[in-house]
Amino acid sequence: MSRLRVQVVVVAYEGGEELVDCVRALAATRYRPLEILVVENGSSNPTSIADIADLSECIDVVHSPRNLGFAGGVNFGMSWILSHDKRADIYALINQDCLVRPGWLGPLVTTLMSEPSAAVVGGRIYEPDGTTLQHAGGVIHANGLTDHIGRGCTDDRAYRECSDVDYVTGALCAFRAEVWGRFGPLDASFFPAYYEETDFCLRTREAGLRVLYVPESEAVHDESSTLGRGSLAQLTAYHRNRMRFAVRYLNRRGVRGAALKSELRWLLSGHGLRQARALMRAYPGLAGDIVRSWRQQK
């Protein structure tokens, strides 16, 4: 029996050396057949990726004339793949600031092959120090806030079991072709980033499928390197898309009261107050999101 064909999509924006390192690690993956598509997503100085295609014969590079955001970049790449006879059995998404470890791909493919109900799978991701856990799957709270399970854990024995989770990060995830055909594309309104993979995962789960954390697949991730982790731009993008996500799902489910209480508790805990500037930028769009959601439900 032939092995499943895998296509990896990397959305690149002002990537520099971290992008080169990311693609070099992917090209060193021993799993075959494997192809890698780098989507140059409207960078102001794209010369840093000029030589990426030369790293391996399995790499293609395509260019978007403008920054489409992460979701838009993925969609651009997937459209190119489907129109250029590059179709695969399984697709994987890897962030440009994510460095996969040897053997990362096989466990994801095996899980998708052995678990027909699994729609999306993701891996065990470490902080840049290589030992502190960053992600062992994700959880969605009542107000739409997300947390990475296991974040900050330094016990290498922890989180070693495959498990069902609310979502997995788009920094490292994979899905079958039929899942993309049924639930794709990603929602590009989550611009420039955050919640596009959460939305994708939740749509599959609402259809009765599973999202799985696969600990044997490992990578190191310099999280939010493009926007700057903890910066005003990063927090504003996160909370703005959180509001959009929360209205879309929590309003539809009729649990707005629980969401509001959860938001107030979070604010009063002090966490929200420390992010007040970002929230003041995000909250004004909430009314418009509620109106749009209400109209879509009519």
Are residues 24 and 122 both part of a single domain? yes
- pLDDT digits over 227-263, tens only? 777 788 899 999 999 999 988 887 666 667 788 888 8
Nearest to 19 by CA among 85, 93, 98: 98
Q: Percentage of the chain surpassing pLDDT 90?
A: 69
Are residues 93 and 61 both part of a single domain? yes
Question: What is the distance between the alpha carbons of residues 201 and 208, in angstroms, rounded to a whole number?
Answer: 11
Coil, helix or strand for 280? helix
In a domain, 89, yes or no: yes
Q: How far is CA 42 from the centre of its chain?
A: 19
In a domain, 227, yes or no: no
Which range marks the domain in which residue 40 is found? 6-221
CATH for 88: 3.90.550.60
- pLDDT digits over 143-160, tens only? 999 999 999 999 988 999
Question: What is the distance between the alpha carbons of residues 10 and 94, in angstroms, rounded to a whole number?
Answer: 5
In a domain, 79, yes or no: yes
Are residues 257 and 207 both part of a single domain? no
Residue ending a domain, among 201, 221, 241, is 221
Here the tokens at position 152 are: 């900050």
Nearest to 218 by CA among 119, 148, 127, 140: 127
Residue ending a domain, among 221, 251, 283, is 221
**What are the start-end ranges of the E strands in the chain?**
6-12, 34-41, 59-64, 90-94, 98-100, 118-126, 133-135, 138-140, 146-148, 163-164, 172-176, 210-221
Give mean pLDDT, residues 166-187. 98
Here the tokens at position 84 are: 């250029």
Are residues 170 and 242 both part of a single domain? no
- pLDDT digits over 100-132, tens only? 999 999 999 999 999 999 999 999 999 999 999
Residue ending a domain, among 197, 221, 245, is 221
Are residues 199 and 239 both part of a single domain? no
Here the tokens at position 138 are: 């994700």
Cβ-contact 10, 100 below 8 angstroms:
no
Domain count, the chain: 2
Cβ-contact 168, 197 below 8 angstroms:
yes
